[in-house]
């Protein structure tokens, strides 16, 4: 094969695997020799707490990626840099005398700005930046309405996604077939990958959580989930059950291939299986929110619907106290508090509970959804800007195709429905474990004798509810209605002018 470039550089980012990787495949085919690098980007690391499970997840994935590259070509391996990617990538590309740098797309605003800087610096050196689609089945402008506009409603987007998805879009890239282009590591790069202390971080509890790590961990989780995917639609809403795939962090960092996951679910969905069809829909939601962020980047810090920026959220000392109680899982509503305990202890939260806790913050507590979004961004192992933002704006009724503002999750009813026996609550709130299940969902309704028998003093061992649900609902409806009135008045005025 006639190679376009003598030497190239593969820049790994959120695609930490050596199989079915679009940019790696294209780079191997285009270059006679290809080096591979990951930059521990200090522009990102500097903003993180010094104990962060995600950093450990990445380092474990880099170890497996390095080993995978060596298996493909014994003298190859992963180069690494610690510094600003905006400077390190052009410097390394120049040092290696490359003609092109290859990477996969990342449409988050920070990443786009970073890539623009890198592209400009490389251009000044006469080096091309070649990027590919890898983290979504469909992205950017690949699915548009008949009017040529981005989809902002999920149902027609999903229909278009399913109509277009076929073997071409769901097939994998045969990386190994072209691995002969992997270049030996230069002598100066013969050094081990860094550890946590080398980059200024301390260990978390990630090892105690026994979370499968790296590409092998992602494959292990997918194979295990594949065997129970047929029950996904029945189990996914119950946090005490093993219903989800638990692949979200692997999707975030690219230690699994979205094409492999989607093709497996798609094949079973075409056979009429409800579980795979439901899980495939969740993968489609992921693509949907990615294209929303790409087309409407203002959602990163403002409401998708402009009128929702007029919502008057609670402010001041009282609001800050409510937020602190929500973060700490001390709202007085057990399922909300158990969900926050799960997040704080593990970096994971069940999807049903993400909706519940987000709705509770925005609607029952009346707090700005962006406060909660930022907290999740700090805590979630699987934090992805598009998905996190899309989920929060959906729950807060400020986003595209969001739940109606008058739909307000009742945390007691959700608890009774999805954790009826209290198994999840007891796991994360052991101080309530001795309460009978009917009382576990609303401890303040228990008789003094029941509380005494359970060894609980409300206000000491477990907090009283922060808010009254009926009153909070009325305040939420008024808050949203007030923000909608200027829009309604504008529509009436426009009709009168016709």
From start to end of 257-383, where are the E strands?
Answer: none
User: Whose CA is closest to 288, among 394, 403, 170?
Assistant: 394
Question: What is the Cα 316 distance to its own chain's centre?
Answer: 30
Closest by CA to 432, choosing from 326, 321, 330, is 330
How crowded is the C-beta side of 411, counted as CA atoms within 13 Å? 33
| CA separation for the pair 417, 427 (Å, rounded) | 17
| C-alpha to C-alpha distance for 411 and 442, rounded to whole angstroms | 9
Q: Is 142 exposed, middle or buried (0-12, 13-18, 19+ CB in 10 A)?
A: middle
| Chain centroid, CA 187 distance in Å | 38
SS3 11: strand
Give the residue from 10, 3, 24, 184 showing the smallest Cα distance to 100: 10
Close Cβ partners of 82 (under 8 Å, ≥ 6 residues apart): 39, 40, 42, 194, 198, 199
Residues 6+ apart with CB under 8 A from 446: 435, 439, 454
For residue 211, give both structure tokens.
């979370």
Tokens of 140: 């950017």
Catalytic machinery residues? 282, 285, 313, 351, 369, 392
String of b and e for 235-273 (b: at least 16 CB within 10 Å)? ebbbbbbebbbbbbbbbbbbbbbbbbbbbbbbebbeeeb
């Amino acid at each position: 094969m006639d190679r376009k470039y003598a030497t190239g550089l593969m820049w790994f980012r959120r695609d930490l695997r050596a199989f079915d990787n679009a940019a790696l495949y294209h780079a191997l085919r285009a270059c006679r020799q290809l080096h591979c690098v990951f930059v521990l980007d200090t522009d990102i690391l500097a903003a993180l707490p010094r104990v962060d499970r995600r950093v450990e997840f990445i380092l474990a994935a880099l170890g497996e990626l390095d080993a995978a590259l060596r298996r493909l070509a014994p003298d190859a391996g992963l180069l690494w840099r610690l510094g600003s990617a905006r400077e390190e990538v052009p410097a390394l590309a120049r040092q290696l005398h490359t003609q092109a740098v290859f990477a996969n797309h990342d449409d988050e605003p920070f990443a786009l700005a970073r890539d623009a800087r890198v592209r400009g610096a490389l251009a000044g050196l006469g080096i091309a930046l070649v990027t590919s689609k890898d983290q979504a089945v469909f992205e950017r402008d690949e699915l548009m309405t008949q009017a040529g506009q981005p989809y902002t409603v999920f149902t027609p987007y999903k229909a278009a996604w399913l109509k277009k998805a076929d073997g071409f879009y769901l097939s994998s890239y045969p990386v190994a077939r072209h691995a002969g282009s992997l270049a030996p590591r230069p002598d100066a790069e013969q050094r081990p990958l860094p550890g946590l202390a080398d980059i200024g971080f301390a260990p978390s509890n990630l090892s105690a959580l026994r979370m499968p790590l790296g590409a092998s961990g992602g494959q292990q989780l997918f194979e295990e989930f594949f065997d129970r995917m047929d029950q996904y639609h029945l189990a996914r809403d119950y946090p005490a059950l093993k219903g989800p795939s638990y692949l979200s962090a692997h999707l975030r960092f690219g230690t699994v291939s979205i094409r492999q996951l989607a093709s497996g679910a798609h094949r079973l969905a075409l056979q009429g299986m409800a579980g795979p069809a439901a899980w495939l829909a969740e993968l489609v939601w992921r693509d949907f929110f990615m294209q929303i962020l790409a087309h409407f980047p203002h959602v990163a810090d403002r409401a998708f619907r402009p009128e929702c920026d007029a919502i008057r959220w609670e402010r001041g000392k009282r609001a800050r106290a409510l937020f602190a109680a929500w973060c700490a899982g001390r709202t007085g509503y057990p399922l909300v508090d158990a969900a926050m305990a799960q997040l704080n202890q593990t970096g994971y939260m069940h999807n049903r509970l993400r909706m519940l806790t987000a709705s509770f913050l925005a609607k029952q507590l009346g707090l700005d959804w962006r406060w909660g979004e930022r907290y999740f961004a700090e805590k979630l192992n699987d934090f992805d800007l598009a998905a996190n933002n899309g989920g929060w704006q959906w729950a807060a009724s400020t986003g595209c195709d969001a739940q109606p503002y008058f739909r307000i999750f009742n945390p007691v009813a959700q608890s009774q429905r999805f954790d009826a026996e209290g198994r999840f609550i007891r796991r994360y709130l052991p101080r309530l474990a001795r309460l009978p299940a009917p009382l576990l969902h609303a401890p303040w309704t228990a008789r003094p004798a029941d509380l005494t028998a359970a060894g609980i003093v409300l206000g000491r061992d477990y907090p009283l509810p922060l808010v009254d649900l009926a009153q909070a609902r009325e305040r939420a409806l008024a808050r949203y209605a007030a923000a909608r009135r200027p829009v309604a008045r504008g529509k009436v005025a426009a009709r009168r002018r016709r």
